[in-house]
Amino acid sequence: MPIINGIKFACNSCIKGHRSSHCNHVERPLFEIRRKGRPVTQCAYCRDLRKTKQVHVKCVCSERRGIVNWEDTSFFGLREF
């Protein structure tokens, strides 16, 4: 599996076939391997509020501050190499 700057990459067919750790297809388009689990939907500020003050609210900081660009697929780990 190609590792570039500490980020793991694999081709789409190996990711779909659950073989990303054994992918050696450097001639195919490579995609960043996403982290396990559910993707993070809250910013660090709202997540910290939830942990410290036990306030569970929907994060709307991205609309006000432009923290997360939901149209950008690289945020979700789908960056093409």
- Does residue 79 sit within a domain? no
CATH of the domain at 5: 3.90.430.10
Whole-model pTM? 0.49
- pLDDT tens string, the chain, 81 residues long: the values are 788 888 899 999 999 998 888 998 989 999 998 888 888 778 888 888 888 887 777 777 765 554 445 455 454 455 554
- Does residue 75 sit within a domain? no
| 12 & 25 share domain | yes
How many angstroms separate the Cα of 28 from the Cα of each of 2, 13, 69, 75, 77? 12, 10, 27, 22, 18
Query: In this predicted structure, what is the pLDDT of residue 29?
Result: 92
| 19 & 45 share domain | no
As given in the structure block, the two tokens for residue 61 are 């900081």
- Does residue 42 sit within a domain? yes
- Does residue 81 sit within a domain? no
